[in-house]
Each structure stands twice: as structure tokens, then as C-alpha cells.
Amino acid sequence: MALTGACAALFAVVLTWFGATSHPSSQVVAHSAVRAGWKTIDSHGVEFDIPSAWQRLGMSDCEFRLEQWAPPDSSPCGREGGAVFYNAATFDPADGPGVRRTAAGGADAANWGGYVYAGDYAVYVSDNDRDLVRQALGSVRVAGEGE
């Protein structure tokens, strides 16, 4: 009986892990962003707008397998810029919400970054363009609110 319970628990953990890593949790939503040249992304009911050229990066070989949307030439495991969804309960930032000049992270690091909370998530955006970061963070919302 104990062996059956242990096997069932292990199966549930593997199935949950497979589901979380095999299927992206964010996607482009059907209705477009308000601004030309932008698209709306949804992850777990949190929506925000990003430049239309940004795409989901394949991060399966990275140490941290968070979904990241960034310019097409970005390194999947790098910090050149883009947008990432974090679970707010485990997100531990050094600074409060808003846009700030990012810490030195090498020649490829973005110059501006920041985050906002929405629902159970924190959305972090970084880029060399401060206005782009502000616009993306300003668009973060819980899906269905304000519509």
C-alpha cells in the first residue's frame, strides 16, 4: 500500500513537471495591443504589451527555465533584455517596483529594467530603451479588468 502511494505521488510530480516544462504558459492573445507595432501577451491571466518583433525564447537549456519574450537575436539564457513572468510569492527583488537603470551585468546587459505586480505575478521588463520598458510595464493588467 505504501509503495503504491509513493509511486502515485512520484507520478503526479513527474506529470506536473512535464506539463510545466513542455507547454508554454504564455501566449499571444487574439486581440491586438492598442499601439501599432505591439502585441499582447497573456500568462496565467496577466496580460501586457510588448514590441511585435519580440518572441518567446527557448530556455530549455538554461539554468532557470522561466519563459522569456525578447528580441529575436537575444540569447535565451542571457540578460540582453526582454520580459519575464515571475510568481510574485517567490519573486525577491532588490528594489521596489518601477523602472530603474540596471546594475552592471556586462556589455550585453540592458540599461533599463523594472517590474510591476499583477495578480499573483510580477512582470519584469528590461531593454536599452527606457520608454519601451515604461510602456510595457504600464500596460500590465489582470485579464478582464478595465475592459
Residue 113 pLDDT class (50, 70, 90 cuts):
very high
Tell whether 73 is covered by a domain.
yes
Q: Is residue 19 part of a domain?
A: no
- Nearest CA among 60, 82, 79, 62 for reference residue 71: 82
Q: Which residues contact 133 (CB under 8 A, 6 or more apart)?
A: 99, 112, 113, 114, 125, 126, 127
Q: What DSSP assignment string belongs to 11-28?
A: HHHHHHHHHHHHS-SEEE
Which domain range does residue 111 map to?
25-142
Q: What is the average per-residue pLDDT within 115-144?
A: 92
Mean pLDDT of 137-141: 94
Q: Taking a C-beta distance cutoff of 8 angstroms, is the pair 100, 58 a contact?
A: no
- Asked whether residue 147 is domain-assigned, the answer is no
Residue 88 lies in a domain: yes
pLDDT value at residue 22: 44
Q: Which one is predicted more confidently, 133 or 79?
A: 133
Residue 104 has pLDDT above 90, yes or no: no
The whole-number pLDDT of residue 120 equals 92
At position 46, the amino acid (one-letter code) is: V
Tell me, yes or no, if the pTM score tops 0.85.
no
Contact present, 100 and 112 (Cβ < 8 Å): yes
Residue 103 is assigned to a structural domain of this protein? yes
Q: Is residue 71 part of a domain?
A: yes
Q: Is residue 13 part of a domain?
A: no
Number of domains in the chain: 1
- Domain-located, residue 112: yes
